[in-house]
Amino acid sequence: MLEANQTRTRSQQWFERAQQSLVEGVNSPSRGATVYTAGPIVLERGRGSHVWDADGNRYIDFMMSFGALIQGHAHPTLVKTVSEAMAEGSHFAAATSAEVEAAERFRRMVPSAEVVRFTNTGSEATMLVLRLARAHTRRRKFLKFEGHYHGWYDPYLLNAHSHTPEQLGPVENPARIPDSDGIPPSTFDDVVLAPWNDGAALERVMRQHGHELAAVITEPIMANMGCILPRAGYFERLRELTQDCGCLLIFDEVVTGFRYAPGGCQEYYGVQPDLSTFGKALGAGFPVGAVAGPRSILERMRWSENMVLHYGTFNGHRLTMKVVAANLDLLSAENVYRKLHAVGNAAIAGLREVFRRRQVKAIVQGFGPMFQIYFTARDAIRDYRDYCQYVDTKLYSGFVHRLLDRGIYMTPSNGLHWIISTAHSDADVQALVEAADQACSGLL
């Protein structure tokens, strides 16, 4: 918890200095004053579950680089791996044994991965997976769900951020709201937009468009609106409908991969997609993405006259591949996922008890290593439209700013999520619950 004589003066100074060289003083708007009302907290170092800012204030980190730091900060094994790899040469843009070892471990953990292709980011992975799906099916259109985020590639940037309910249009024909300027309207001609987690809407859309779809892409858990879980049976029916229509089912596991189970949500829910994308937790803090699936589809990248082109100087970056292999070894150890779920479920239970006792209208949604708090009178938030209509995102931001003052590091953006890493402990959970209890005082 911050003491009375501690301030964030140096963070403010760094942010003012950053304005001279960086747009908004940051390299992504989720880090700047758009989210942090007094300006960002400038972090300088991290270890385990803790981070320290430029003023020396210590926080328990529950953001964990938006989920990338599955092993926490500066895990000793990964520090050693990076040091040794750097001493031998970080990158060659050539074939290496490191990428083979990383791929072998990946295939052992992900049930749908006959082969894998590494990219540099999750966004690159989702770009590639759409190109592969179109080449394989010889179809152009794809189905994207409201509220799902698949990176900042032009065709995906429809309805990926919250808007007022009046802007959304009818469920049967959602308004198409671009998430960025600079994208020609024709870019979205091949995008079919649909509500998510709505069985009747899914049946209707697939009857109308299924025959012309190359793919349906979905997050297994809607992670761009916090943490919204799929309804029972939804993915099983989606799997059946895509097979009936001859289109591919793509699981975007950039957020969920290697988090809920060794093979991600596809293993946890027992539904095997045709193609999958991964990122974040895969690299344990290093930039990486991956596309995985059957050889029959990924082999389309094999060099030929009609190949699916995928270049990249930094693909299979040697140092990153060393980290990936070491990280997957750590995640393969006994009881890792049992602990992740146990610590996360304890945090969820503790927060729910605080809100119940304080009589605050809030729910904690999710399970195990990822969850989100929604200030709402609803029993659950089921989809994008629920989030836009019923969640008090301003109250959430105020609540998290109070937590920041009490030594809990988290983004005030309600559309993201709380992350549990292997470094988090029962003591961290207890500190979170106590801080949340204090932050509720006078909140409403």
The number of helices, as runs of H, and strands, as runs of E, in the chain is 14, 14
Distance, CA of 206 to CA of 396 (rounded, Å): 36
Task: Determine contact, residues 210/138, Cβ cutoff 8 Å.
Answer: no
Q: What is the pLDDT of residues 113-139, one digit of tens each?
A: 999 999 999 999 999 999 999 999 999
Q: Which pLDDT belongs to residue 6?
A: 67
Contacting residues for 103 by C-beta, under 8 A, at least 6 apart: 115, 116, 118
pLDDT band at 3 (very low <50, low <70, confident <90, very high): very low
Active site amino acids: 149, 252, 280
Of the listed ranges 14-18, 36-40, 71-75, 316-320, the least confidently predicted one is 36-40
Identify the bridge partners of residue 51 per DSSP, sorted by sequence position. 46, 59
Q: What is the pLDDT of residues 225-271, one digit of tens each?
A: 999 999 999 999 999 999 999 999 999 999 999 999 999 999 999 99
Q: Evaluate if residue 341 carries a pLDDT over 80.
A: yes
Which one-letter amino acid corresponds to residue 265? C
Average pLDDT over every residue of 381-406: 97
Q: Which pLDDT belongs to residue 121?
A: 97
Q: Evaluate if residue 427 carries a pLDDT over 50.
A: yes
Q: How many CA atoms lie within 13 A of 240 on its CB side?
A: 9
Q: Evaluate if residue 307 carries a pLDDT over 90.
A: yes
Identify the bridge partners of residue 191 per DSSP, sorted by sequence position. 142
Backbone phi and psi for residue 354, each to the nearest 5 degrees, phi listed first: -60, -50
Using CB atoms within 10 Å of the CB of residue 161, give its burial: 0 to 12 exposed, 13 to 18 middle, 19+ buried: middle
Task: Determine contact, residues 142/133, Cβ cutoff 8 Å.
Answer: yes
pLDDT band at 443 (very low <50, low <70, confident <90, very high): confident
Of the listed ranges 4-8, 160-164, 193-197, the least confidently predicted one is 4-8
Using CB atoms within 10 Å of the CB of residue 339, give its burial: 0 to 12 exposed, 13 to 18 middle, 19+ buried: middle
Q: Evaluate if residue 286 carries a pLDDT over 60.
A: yes
Q: Evaluate if residue 107 carries a pLDDT over 70.
A: yes
Alpha-carbon Rg of the chain, whole angstroms?
22
pLDDT band at 355 (very low <50, low <70, confident <90, very high): very high
Q: By C-alpha distance, which of 435, 426, 383 is closest to 404?
A: 435
Average of per-residue pLDDT values in the chain: 96
Q: By C-alpha distance, which of 367, 301, 342, 357 is closest to 424?
A: 342
The two three-digit tokens of residue 271, written as one number: 């539904």
Q: Which pLDDT belongs to residue 34?
A: 87
Q: By C-alpha distance, which of 96, 97, 98, 116 is closest to 106?
A: 116
Q: Positive or negative CA dihedral for 197, 202, 205, 206?
A: positive
Distance, CA of 14 to CA of 108 (rounded, Å): 44
The SS3 of residue 206 is: helix
The two three-digit tokens of residue 107, written as one number: 């295939």
Q: What is the pLDDT of residues 24-44, one digit of tens each?
A: 999 998 888 889 988 899 999
pLDDT band at 5 (very low <50, low <70, confident <90, very high): very low
The two three-digit tokens of residue 87, written as one number: 């001493």
pLDDT band at 444 (very low <50, low <70, confident <90, very high): confident
Residue 338's CB is within 10 A of a number of other CB atoms, namely 10
Helices marked H in 71-217: 76-88, 97-109, 122-137, 199-209
Average pLDDT over every residue of 169-182: 95
Q: Which pLDDT belongs to residue 442?
A: 80
Average pLDDT over every residue of 201-208: 97
Q: Which pLDDT belongs to residue 38?
A: 85
pLDDT band at 4 (very low <50, low <70, confident <90, very high): very low
Average pLDDT over every residue of 55-82: 98
